[in-house]
Amino acid sequence: MKIGIDARMLGEKQTGIGLYIKNLIENIAKIDKSNQYVLFLRKEQFLEFKLPAENFKKVLANSRWYSFSEQTKFLFNILRQKLDLMHFPSFNAPIFYSGKRITTVHDLTPKYFPGHKMNSFLRRLAFWIVFKRGIFKSEKIIAVSEYTKGEILKYYKIDPKRIEVVYEGIPNLNKNKEFYISNKEFFKKYKIKKPFIFYTGVWRDHKNLVGLVKAFNVLKRKYQKDLTLVLGGKEDRFYPEVREVWQELELGSEIIRPGFIKNEEMGLFLKNAEVFVLPSFVEGFGFGPLEALSYETPVAVSDVGSLPEVLGESAIYFDPKNSDDIAEKINLILDNKNLKDELVKRGQKIIKKYSWSDCVQKTINLYQEI
């Protein structure tokens, strides 16, 4: 069988889809030696990417997602390969592709937070036409959580049997290898002098970083915590509200912004943090808290989306719309060592549920079924 994988988002920094594609390819190469795989890559990744096994080939498909080129040039890129099956790891795909396909849906965040790119009615309409077409034309849909499956069924009348829930795994952050810098060098490099709470991810409105900064202010003022807030990920100029809030609250010197964090250093941030915090309004799965738990760091997260489903009793939950509640729950962990230890203990059990090899084996089984 000849299977195509849309890998154009491979290498996208700190996005769940980019991470999903990376682990999908790596684990397919380990598990499946019989099927043939065609990877469609944008120019930068095409030049740098090394094929993981003999049954893989790469094809240049330099069309950005949600573009006109995606609907035209990318369509012809796919058709020329004469595939038996095409896997789209996100719903953005050529609407006129009529071959067999499987689509992974991570979340329906754009329904609630369309973002700066969908600033016109026509752009929003085009976006949802592409999404709807991808849903209805797929032989199977992979949902990364029961929550995401429920969201799909909430908005689209399709047979629930066409949707398979396949949980993702926990990223490999070179945990079993020695870090290339020591703890001492790490703290010096990033000028971290106090205990810190940690967030990493994109800086977009649905991640609620404004609420986290306000909660950090409550921790400093009300609870008198001598803390630093570390906000990992690249600051997004289209969402200036985060910077505006910390400037208004005069917290700039208390917030460390390391930018994009490489895998080699991510473990250092995770294992040294007092608490990992994810204050999102919407989450389809949530890699960050699971990564933190794998480093025995307690997590405090929103009580929304897939997070209660994925994390169970291994996290403390708060109302993301209430900065006082966010601060109270973080402080609860900071002040209670027994609670912190118990959360870490529960976390070691919960992370065993999430394996990339299991995720990919179930995905390969769906390929075969289709």
CA 326 to CA 197: how far, in whole Å?
12
Share of the chain above pLDDT 70, in %: 94
Quick one: tokens of 346? 């529960």
Q: 199-249: per-residue pLDDT in tens? A: 999 899 999 999 999 999 999 999 999 999 999 999 988 889 999 999 999
Confidence at residue 76, expressed as pLDDT on a 0 to 100 scale = 96
Q: Which domains does the chain have, with CATH numbers?
A: 2-169+355-369 (3.40.50.2000), 183-353 (3.40.50.2000)
Confidence at residue 16, expressed as pLDDT on a 0 to 100 scale = 81
Residue type, 223: Y
Answer positive or negative: Cα dihedral of 110, 115, 120, 126. negative
Tell me the average pLDDT across 287-310.
Answer: 95
CA 60 to CA 356: how far, in whole Å?
26
Band of pLDDT at residue 86, cut at 50, 70 and 90: very high
Q: 267-278: per-residue pLDDT in tens? A: 899 999 999 999
CB 283 within 8 A of CB 107: yes
Confidence at residue 263, expressed as pLDDT on a 0 to 100 scale = 79
Confidence at residue 110, expressed as pLDDT on a 0 to 100 scale = 79
Q: 15-67: per-residue pLDDT in tens? A: 788 889 999 999 999 999 999 999 999 999 999 999 999 999 999 999 988 78
CA 31 to CA 314: how far, in whole Å?
31
Gap between the terminal Cα atoms of the chain: 11
Confidence at residue 22, expressed as pLDDT on a 0 to 100 scale = 93
Q: 103-145: per-residue pLDDT in tens? A: 999 998 877 776 656 566 676 777 778 888 889 999 999 999 9
- The reported pTM is 0.90
Higher pLDDT, 172 or 198: 198
